[in-house]
Structure 1
């Protein structure tokens, strides 16, 4: 069980009525925001305190209209069962009680009890959750008291909800792009499933699965390092934006359970189920190095580590 605080600001009406929270993975222009990344850590059963002051992957909700036009159109979404309270709590009226419980880093509110403009979703300690529940209602206090703060990483739903819709939208955009030739459109669509020109370009850099050593091409997936859905058209066909992986290793890499350092060291997410990873053929007890990467591969691996690789507890 984890506890969260969300500062809705302009999007409260849409999110509350729709039963979700959503934020872009990046700001317009690609700048990262650590608080947006916290959506990837929310798990079923967590408690979210909704504050109106002003992870599955999803296109920006249409109902947002012009709100947040500086945001990226693709972000993370978490479905939420909102429960309105009869007497809304104003944090600024209770800071004497709340102040000692605020997170030491990345607090969602300041010392005066006002929400930080730049904070969307933030993790809060159990002590703060208990104090908020006590101030809100006896029933909520009972619920929070009966839960335990998470001591282990939550089990992650590896089915990336919303990805199919995202990729379908990208496919439609490519098919309707009048500036692209028919040959280019076909190449981009085939690249989505690791075939065609992308695979031929990848063959210039990779000829086997770096973890299992399998060389037979019929057993290897041509996997994008920076996901196809997030890549530009040029990146979708770039051979350095890829690895040849056996199906089980492709699954782990695509879902963010494993990644690679620039020096070839394999890194395994704390969230990954270690016994399953071991049964898939990965040595979880010793350092695994898979060889050198090209400069272009290192560029795309930096994105994978930052935006795909799953990290538990990155926000304390």
Structure 2
């Protein structure tokens, strides 16, 4: 899988090959188990089963693409991929097919940060400053150790385009 991705994205990303191979190897086991579980379900029809399997495969590609840009949760600093979610910046339901797999449309986030981001309770400025929704109880951030004046580092131009969408359409005002 990693070799095919390399052929698609070009030689300038050759240094990413070991990372892609690690992702492919570690996630393949989990993907196989999930696929087995989905195939074994009797409470859903075959069309739904096939759609679930395809979406899981796409999630693996998306996660690998996100890891080309991100190596940690920008908020918590956690680097172990076991504890990180590949979160779409522009929600999957609103994205084109290309955007759904585009690594710049994603962040690696710890689960609690991912929840806040997906629900529009937080977002980020292009320069990395944390934006907090008026709808979020700031005491929650304090309890989770997330500083209100946090800067997570600037984003690249393509990520900034997706973040503009997130701020305009997902962030609760």
TM-score, scaled to structure 2: 0.68
Q: What is the CA distance between 1:190 and its match in structure 2?
A: 2.2
1:157-196 equivalent positions in 2, closer than 5 A: 175=51, 186=54, 189-190=55-56, 195-196=59-60
Q: Distance in 2 between the 1:206 and 1:214 partners? A: 11
Q: What is the CA distance between 1:276 and its match in structure 2?
A: 1.1
> Which SS does the other structure have where 1:209 is aligned?
coil
Return the match for 1:262 from 120, 126, 142.
Answer: 126
Q: What is the CA distance between 1:280 and its match in structure 2?
A: 2.0
Q: Which runs of 5+ in 1 are unaligned?
A: 1-170, 176-184, 312-316
1:106-255 equivalent positions in 2, closer than 5 A: 175=51, 186=54, 189-190=55-56, 195-255=59-119
Structure 2 equivalent of residue 280 of structure 1? 144
User: C-alpha deviations, 1:15-59, integer Å up to 9, x for none?
Assistant: xxxxxxxxxxxxxxxxxxxxxxxxxxxxxxxxxxxxxxxxxxxxx
Q: Which of structure 1's runs of 4+ aligned residues deviate more than 2 A?
A: none
Q: Which runs of 5+ in 2 are unaligned?
A: 1-46
Structure 2 equivalent of residue 81 of structure 1? none
> Which SS does the other structure have where 1:277 is aligned?
helix
Q: What is the CA distance between 1:277 and its match in structure 2?
A: 1.9
> Which SS does the other structure have where 2:70 is aligned?
coil
Structure 1 equivalent of residue 156 of structure 2? 294
The structure in which a higher percent of residues are strand is 1
User: C-alpha deviations, 1:74-118, integer Å up to 9, x for none?
Assistant: xxxxxxxxxxxxxxxxxxxxxxxxxxxxxxxxxxxxxxxxxxxxx
Q: What is the CA distance between 1:191 and its match in structure 2?
A: 6.8
Q: What is the CA distance between 1:294 and its match in structure 2?
A: 1.1
8 Å CA contact retained: 1:191, 1:236: no
Q: Distance in 1 between the 2:56 and 2:158 partners? A: 21
8 Å CA contact retained: 1:191, 1:199: no
Residue-pair matches, total: 125
Structure 2 equivalent of residue 306 of structure 1? 168
8 Å CA contact retained: 1:249, 1:280: no
Tell me which structure has the larger Cα radius of gyration.
1
When the two chains are superposed, the root-mean-square deviation of aligned CA atoms in Å is 1.9
The structure in which a higher percent of residues are helix is 2
Assess, with a 3 A threshold, how the Cα gap between structure 1 residues 224 and 191 changes in structure 2: closer, same or farther: farther
